[in-house]
Structure 1
Amino acid sequence: MADGMANSTGNPMVGGAEMYPTKNIIENAVNSKDHTTLVAAVKAAGLVETLQGPGPFTVFAPTNEAFDALPAGTVEALLKPENKAKLTKILTCHVVAAKALSGPIMKMVDDDNGAHPVKTVGGCVFTIMYKGDNIMIKDGQGNIAHVTIADVKQSNGVIHVIDRVLLPAS
């Protein structure tokens, strides 16, 4: 079954694992083979409890490939205890304190003439746009992430899988 497609139970598949709308963000993310780096980073940053909380949260979840695309050594450096604050900032810049499904996101973009600013839990302000059915997020450094799997519903919010790590303005 291809990622993003619903299986026979109607639940989407992410990283080869069924995503259950009755489970929270962490309970689902730990089963995705495409998000092992993200899960390790969330653990290193001490954000597991937060993302298991009631939310609601929207998480833009970078894949392992997205983390691998960062300059060599970046992920290893960020996972070191002395870089916990920087790691936490980057990760919380992937979280919005609301449940934002793609339909309402596209309406906000339309209402803002094609580009909607979104403030993240980490204090970053990113710009959301879309073309056709493809939602894109421009980070603080001008890089564009594409939502590859949208609207993966969780008990405490929603996950949108993205193909790039969102970075704050430097």
Structure 2
Amino acid sequence: MNIKKTGNTLLFLLPILLVLGLSSCKHTDLEIDKPNENFRPAGDFVKNNYDLSLFSAAMEKAGFTQKLNGTGPFTILAPSNEAFNLIGITRPSDFDKMNPDSLKFLVGSHILDRRLLSQDIPVNGIDIRYHTLAETEVYTSVFSGAEDPMIFFNGSYVSRLNVKIANGNLFVLKRVMKSSAKTTVQSWLAARPQYSIFVSALKKFGYWDELTSEGPYTIFAPKNEVFEANGLTAEVIAGLKPDRYIRSRLVGCYVFRKKHFFVSDFYVLTQINNDGGYGGFIEDDTYFMTIGANAGLYYKGNSSYSIYVRTAKNYPYDPVGSAGCDVPAGIDNLTDNGIVQDLKGLLVLPEQAYKNN
């Protein structure tokens, strides 16, 4: 055997085998290994990344790709394909079912008209605002105690930060940010029949009309099925006599005035303050409530929260009720004057809110 010739043949085949092996690997992450390839404008960069293919399709259909290849600067808050899957979008053709103006608003609200790096965001802040191409503001919360900052845009966790592109910067989000143009928390609830019993309770106890004002409000909203599971049908709510109840305890516990809480804010506050989240008295009442977010936020970007109501702040006290939500589709619904959070339970029952209690 000619050992020298065989060795030369192997040396010749090795690079080819290596290339074939690499090309057969499944693509599972952003293609950012080669800095020179990143130096492309935003539209082209997103288009050439498999993990952002659904956002790229949305950009193309909404007419943003050419604009994002312009001078900029831009910051792209790009939901991953997995983020779109969470809201039922699994293929580019799914965007054909959306109203064109709604799709344009969705894409535009994920693009900032400036270059923003993680180090530009104030440390340990809540609801820091930045302007978007949809003429809205995106709310940014950050905890800077970790090796890399923990950043949320409109409650959506940043899984990849500071991907530099030719005309700006890019962050990858674990969830699609949800916001509604020219909508208040009142009109958002009114447009969804699944909250009609909650709406009737807000009207019955005098909380409805104010929900068109500037706010901000955070509304924790139980669906009809939650009320009905507790024997509170629409007819039962209609028959309640408001003067018999402490209205702030029975209904006001779901309405937070002058508060703007994404679910992630509860977790960020916990980290910043090294405590158990948010705590406070029900407005105009002696009952105390606490709200906390699941620690899975940091690692998985999955948002869940729990609310607990008790008869007093400090012991001795009696537990009253608890509820929460762990469904991504139900949380962080942003409107012009606040946020609506779905709540899978009731906090206080009518018999717990009698004035003679």
TM range (shorter): 0.7 to 0.9
Once the two structures are TM-superposed, the CA of residue 52 in structure 1 deviates from its matched residue by 1.5
Cα offsets for 1:6-57 (capped at 9, x unmatched): 885339xxxxxx9724211111101112201111111222322111111111
* 2:324 maps to which of 129, 138, 146: 146
Once the two structures are TM-superposed, the CA of residue 86 in structure 1 deviates from its matched residue by 2.5
Question: 1:100 is matched with which residue?
Answer: 261
* 2:279 maps to which of 117, 120, 124: 117
Q: Take 1:37 and 1:128, find their aligned partners in 2: how far apart are those partners?
A: 24
Determine whether 1:54 maps to 2:235: no
Q: Take 1:87 and 1:67, find their aligned partners in 2: how far apart are those partners?
A: 18
* 1:5 maps to which of 87, 107, 120: 87
Question: 1:15 is matched with which residue?
Answer: none
Once the two structures are TM-superposed, the CA of residue 85 in structure 1 deviates from its matched residue by 5.7
AA aligned to 1:143 is G
Question: 2:226 is matched with which residue?
Answer: 66
Residue range with higher mean Cα deviation, 134-143 or 154-163: 134-143
Sort the Cα spacing of 1:121 and 1:21 in 2 relative to 1 into closer, same or farther, 3 A.
Answer: farther
Sort the Cα spacing of 1:73 and 1:55 in 2 relative to 1 into closer, same or farther, 3 A.
Answer: closer
Q: Take 1:64 and 1:95, find their aligned partners in 2: how far apart are those partners?
A: 17
Once the two structures are TM-superposed, the CA of residue 73 in structure 1 deviates from its matched residue by 5.2
Q: Take 2:233 and 2:270, find their aligned partners in 1: how far apart are those partners?
A: 32
Question: 1:14 is matched with which residue?
Answer: none
SS of corresponding position for 1:93 = helix
Once the two structures are TM-superposed, the CA of residue 118 in structure 1 deviates from its matched residue by 3.2
Report which of the two has the higher share of helix: 2
Q: Take 1:78 and 1:84, find their aligned partners in 2: how far apart are those partners?
A: 14
TM-score by length of 1: 0.76
Sort the Cα spacing of 1:88 and 1:127 in 2 relative to 1 into closer, same or farther, 3 A.
Answer: same
> What are structure 1's unaligned runs of at least 5 residues?
12-17
TM-score by length of 2: 0.39
* 2:190 maps to which of 26, 30, 38: 30
Cα offsets for 1:43-94 (capped at 9, x unmatched): 2223221111111111111111221222x35764443352356273221111
Q: Take 1:108 and 1:75, find their aligned partners in 2: how far apart are those partners?
A: 37
Task: Report the structure number with the largest CA radius of gyration.
Answer: 2
Sort the Cα spacing of 1:73 and 1:37 in 2 relative to 1 into closer, same or farther, 3 A.
Answer: closer
Q: Take 2:282 and 2:274, find their aligned partners in 1: how far apart are those partners?
A: 18
> What are structure 2's unaligned runs of at least 5 residues?
1-85, 89-94, 110-177, 297-302, 311-318
AA aligned to 2:192 is S
Q: Take 1:28 and 1:58, find their aligned partners in 2: how far apart are those partners?
A: 12
Q: Take 2:283 and 2:292, find their aligned partners in 1: how far apart are those partners?
A: 19
Q: Take 2:193 and 2:281, find their aligned partners in 1: how far apart are those partners?
A: 29
- CA contact under 8 A between 2:204 and 2:242: conserved in structure 1? no
Sort the Cα spacing of 1:134 and 1:73 in 2 relative to 1 into closer, same or farther, 3 A.
Answer: closer
RMSD: 3.1
Q: Take 2:266 and 2:280, find their aligned partners in 1: how far apart are those partners?
A: 10
SS of corresponding position for 2:270 = helix
